[in-house]
Amino acid sequence: MFPFKLTPKRQAYLKELELENPFDVVSYFPRTYNRYNLTPLGKEQHDLKVVIKGEVKRKERVVRFGRNKSLFKFTLIYDENEYDIICFNRDYLE
């Protein structure tokens, strides 16, 4: 079936989506997509995603602590203001 090992959880998920072989997987298109719109600062709400577009002025290295935990800091310039951003467990942003 697949040329690699699948975990039982992944097998169950593929079966739920009725994906039976590699061709089904690469030709699968989800019904919905996440759409993100820019959020003007001052219009954000608690517990909702905020999307802004800015320029990274300075980035620091990823600091690792504990098991599988990390912290990444950078300074973002948005609308001529500087913001210090801290991201937890987001190594891919580095």
Q: Where do we find the tokens 């980035």?
A: 59
**What pLDDT, on the 0 to 100 scale, is given for residue 75?**
92
Q: What is the mean pLDDT of residues 75-90?
A: 89
List all residues 6 or more positions away from 69 whose beta carbon is below 8 Å from its beta carbon.
Answer: 88, 89
Q: 3-class SS at 47? A: coil
Q: Phi/psi zone of residue 68: left (φ > 0), alpha (ψ -120 to 50 degrees), beta? A: left
**pTM exceeds cut of 0.75:** no
Q: What does the mean pLDDT of the chain come to?
A: 85
Q: Which amino acid is at 13?
A: Y
Instruction: Report residue 24 CA to chain centroid gap.
Output: 25
Q: Which amino acid is at 5?
A: K
